[in-house]
Structure 1
Amino acid sequence: MPRKKKVTLSLLAEQLGLSVYTVSKALRGLPGMSEDTRKEVLQLAHQLGYLTKDQENSLIYEGIPRLSVKQRRFLVITSSNIARSPSIQMLFEGIKERMLEMGHKVELVFMPDSLTASSFPGWMEQEGLPYADGLFITALIRRPLEALLLELKMPKILLNFPPVGAKVDSVIWDVHDATWQSVQYLARNGHRSLLYFGDVNTTRGYKQRWLAFVEAMKQEGLPFCEEDHLIHMPDNRVEWIRAFKRHMEQVKPTALLCATEMSLAWIYYALSETGYRVPEDVSMIRLDHVHNSFIPGITHPVLPMKETGYRAADRMLWRLANAHLPYEHIRLQGPFFEGDTVKKLI
Structure 2
Amino acid sequence: MKITPVTIKDIARSLNISISTVSRALRGLPEIHPDTRNAVIRLAEELDYQPNQLAKNLAKSRTRTIGVIVPNLSYYFFSAMLNSIEEAALQAGYSVLVCQTNESYLREITSIQNLLRSQVEGFIISLSRDTDNYEHVERLARKNIPLVLFDRYAESIDASKVIVDNKAAAFKATEHLIENGCQRIGFLAGPAQLLLSNQRVEGYRDALTKHNLLVENQYVLHCDYTQEDTIMQTLALMSLPRPPDGVVMISDRVAFPSIYAMKQKGLRIPEDVAVVSFNNDPVSAFFSPALTSISQPIQEMGIETVRLLLKQVDATDSPVPRETKVMETQLIVRASSLRAVSTI
Report the TM-score, using the length of structure 1 for normalisation. 0.69
Q: Does 1:345 align with 2:341?
A: yes
Residue 324 of structure 2 is aligned with which of 321, 324, 329? 329
- Find the aligned partners of 1:228 and 1:141 in 2 and give their Cα distance: 22
Indicate the SS of the match to 1:230: strand
- Find the aligned partners of 1:190 and 1:97 in 2 and give their Cα distance: 43
Deviations 1:144-196 (A, max 9, x none): 66430331231000113542342100102332221111122222233222121
- Find the aligned partners of 1:308 and 1:336 in 2 and give their Cα distance: 17
Residue 148 of structure 1 is aligned with which of 130, 136, 141? 136
| Change in CA separation of 1:268 and 1:126 when aligned onto 2, cut-off 3 Å | closer
Identity, % of aligned positions: 17
Counterpart mapping for 1:216-227 below 5 A: 216-227=207-218
Question: Does the 8 A contact of 1:90 with 1:305 survive in 2?
Answer: yes
Q: Does 1:104 align with 2:94?
A: yes
Question: Does the 8 A contact of 1:150 with 1:156 survive in 2?
Answer: no
Structure 1 position 319, deviation (Å): 2.6
| Change in CA separation of 1:294 and 1:202 when aligned onto 2, cut-off 3 Å | farther
Deviations 1:28-61 (A, max 9, x none): xxxxxxxxxxxxxxxxxxxxxxxxxxxxxxxxxx
Match of residue 238 from structure 2:
245
**For residue 345 of structure 1, what is the amino acid of its counterpart?**
V
Q: Does 1:72 align with 2:64?
A: yes
Deviations 1:52-91 (A, max 9, x none): xxxxxxxxxxxxxxxxx97721010124xx2322111111
- Find the aligned partners of 1:288 and 1:191 in 2 and give their Cα distance: 22
| Change in CA separation of 1:300 and 1:274 when aligned onto 2, cut-off 3 Å | same
Structure 1 position 236, deviation (Å): 4.9
Structure 1 position 142, deviation (Å): 3.9
Match of residue 302 from structure 1:
295
| Change in CA separation of 1:184 and 1:197 when aligned onto 2, cut-off 3 Å | same
Residue 250 of structure 2 is aligned with which of 247, 259, 276? 259
- Find the aligned partners of 1:181 and 1:269 in 2 and give their Cα distance: 24
Question: Does the 8 A contact of 1:139 with 1:203 survive in 2?
Answer: no
Runs of at least 5 residues in structure 1 that lack an aligned partner in the other structure: 1-68
- Find the aligned partners of 1:177 and 1:84 in 2 and give their Cα distance: 26
Residue 172 of structure 1 is aligned with which of 163, 168, 181? 163
For the aligned residues, what is the CA RMSD? Answer: 3.0
Match of residue 291 from structure 1:
282
Indicate the SS of the match to 2:301: helix
Q: Does 1:87 align with 2:77?
A: yes
Structure 1 position 246, deviation (Å): 1.1
Question: Does the 8 A contact of 1:245 with 1:270 survive in 2?
Answer: no
Deviations 1:101-143 (A, max 9, x none): 11111121234777749x957x655444561110001132643
Q: Does 1:137 align with 2:132?
A: no
| Change in CA separation of 1:303 and 1:113 when aligned onto 2, cut-off 3 Å | closer
**For residue 299 of structure 1, what is the amino acid of its counterpart?**
T
- Find the aligned partners of 1:96 and 1:216 in 2 and give their Cα distance: 37
Indicate the SS of the match to 1:318: helix
| Change in CA separation of 1:344 and 1:304 when aligned onto 2, cut-off 3 Å | farther
- Find the aligned partners of 2:156 and 2:133 in 1 and give their Cα distance: 17
Question: Does the 8 A contact of 1:99 with 1:106 survive in 2?
Answer: yes
Question: Does the 8 A contact of 1:200 with 1:210 survive in 2?
Answer: no
Residue 189 of structure 2 is aligned with which of 185, 198, 201? 198
- Find the aligned partners of 2:190 and 2:256 in 1 and give their Cα distance: 15
Match of residue 8 from structure 2:
none
Structure 1 position 312, deviation (Å): 0.7
Matched pairs, number:
272
Match of residue 311 from structure 2:
318
**For residue 276 of structure 2, what is the amino acid of its counterpart?**
I
Residue 210 of structure 1 is aligned with which of 186, 201, 205? 201
Question: Does the 8 A contact of 1:228 with 1:251 survive in 2?
Answer: no
| Change in CA separation of 1:238 and 1:161 when aligned onto 2, cut-off 3 Å | closer
**For residue 156 of structure 1, what is the amino acid of its counterpart?**
L
- Give the number of the structure whose alpha-carbon radius of gyration is greater: 2
Indicate the SS of the match to 1:143: coil
- Find the aligned partners of 2:296 and 2:264 in 1 and give their Cα distance: 30
Indicate the SS of the match to 1:84: coil
- Find the aligned partners of 1:120 and 1:336 in 2 and give their Cα distance: 35
Runs of at least 5 residues in structure 2 that lack an aligned partner in the other structure: 1-60
| Change in CA separation of 1:179 and 1:308 when aligned onto 2, cut-off 3 Å | same
Indicate the SS of the match to 1:215: helix
Indicate the SS of the match to 1:251: coil
Indicate the SS of the match to 2:66: strand
